[in-house]
Amino acid sequence: MRQYQEIKEKHPGTLLLFRVGDFYETFSDDAITISRELGITLTRRNNAGDQTPLAGFPYHALDSYLPKLVKKGFRVAVCDQAEDPAQAKAAGRKLVNREITEVVTPGVTLSDKVLDRNRNNYVAAIHPGPKSYGLAFADISTGEFSVSELPLKELREVLASLAPAEILVSKKLKSPVPDWLSQYVVTWLEDWIYEGRYGYDVLLEHFGTHSLKGFGVEELETAHVAAGALLHYVRENQRASLGHLRTLSGFDNTGYMMLDGSTKRNLELITSMQQGGTDGTLISILDETGTAMGGRLLRKWLMRPLKDLEGIRSRLQAVEVLHIRHDLRQQL
């Protein structure tokens, strides 16, 4: 259990799936949670009087159980054996070397079994500034990465529109937790990540630049803090390369109509009021898109309607051209 405890301490706030032979096992509070959420039998170690709660499942069932946990809002760390047990035995060691191979969170995952191909899976970070809140959000499955600075009222409206799978917040805001954050999966990060130039330097290092002027967001200092915290978090949890996060854009919300939560629910744009699914919703009727990219774009258009008349006319004209030009549709 010492090896398990050491790894567990390095990944607080996660459910640790610990590979033992052909099984992933969990212990103590994690075992109780796993048993409750997945319907797995809860047992005890019963080793020399040790009654530590234990729950596990075969390693080949990981692809089935892991998405269920993440969709329920849990952060999951997967710990695998880093060597063959025979090697450890030959070296005279009783313990097999193990290491974390994957940390999957609601907002940081590339798994097709977790992601919905027709909607963005955003992880967002917020940071309060002197006059407004800094906001950063990214979809690491598509490479989208944006920042903005907004007053609290508009921030709440934008978050409702984005529907992030996870929001990153400094621990110093944890007491008391703002009521409007209660509807989201919130991950609390260490305060030092939000301090000084750390966030700005993380961004410069990632993009390989001397400033953020080329992205047009150099003046958004409060947003830099949020974006740096987001990038730090993604780096810590995503073992894959982040080379596809190639740009940082400013998020402009002025040309769009903001819809609050109750309006979206009453209009049943993307979620049914009675069943909670998509049956009978506007998007279920309109979405005949053939690609994941098209599905995500249509969803954005429904959630953030244009206010600009010229922009609306431009979209309608594009639809009319594609409706008339059968040959053009075939080419596309």
User: What local confidence, expressed as pLDDT, does residue 201 receive?
Assistant: 96
Q: According to CATH, where is 1.10.1420.10 located in the chain?
A: 261-331
CATH label, 2-104, candidates 3.40.1170.10, 3.30.420.40, 3.40.50.720, 3.40.50.2300: 3.40.1170.10
pLDDT of amino acid 224: 97
The pTM assigned to this predicted structure is: 0.83
279 burial type by CB count under 10 A (0-12 exposed, 13-18 middle, 19+ buried): exposed
User: Looking at the chain, which residues constitute the CATH 3.30.420.110 domain(s)?
Assistant: 123-250
CATH of 123-250, one of 3.40.640.10, 3.40.309.10, 3.30.420.110, 3.30.470.20: 3.30.420.110
Per-residue pLDDT, 275: 66
Class of the domain covering 261-331? mainly alpha
Looking at residue 17, its pLDDT comes to 95
Q: What is the pLDDT of residue 276?
A: 66
Regions of the chain with pLDDT less than 50? none
Contacts of residue 31, defined as CB under 8 A and 6 or more positions apart, other chains included, come to: 25, 42, 52, 53, 54, 55
Q: Report residue 316 as tokens.
A: 């309608």
The pLDDT of residue 133:
96
Q: Residue 49's pLDDT is what?
A: 66
CA atoms of 64 and 79, how far apart (whole Å): 17
Helix 198-207 to helix 221-237 angle (10° resolution) is 70
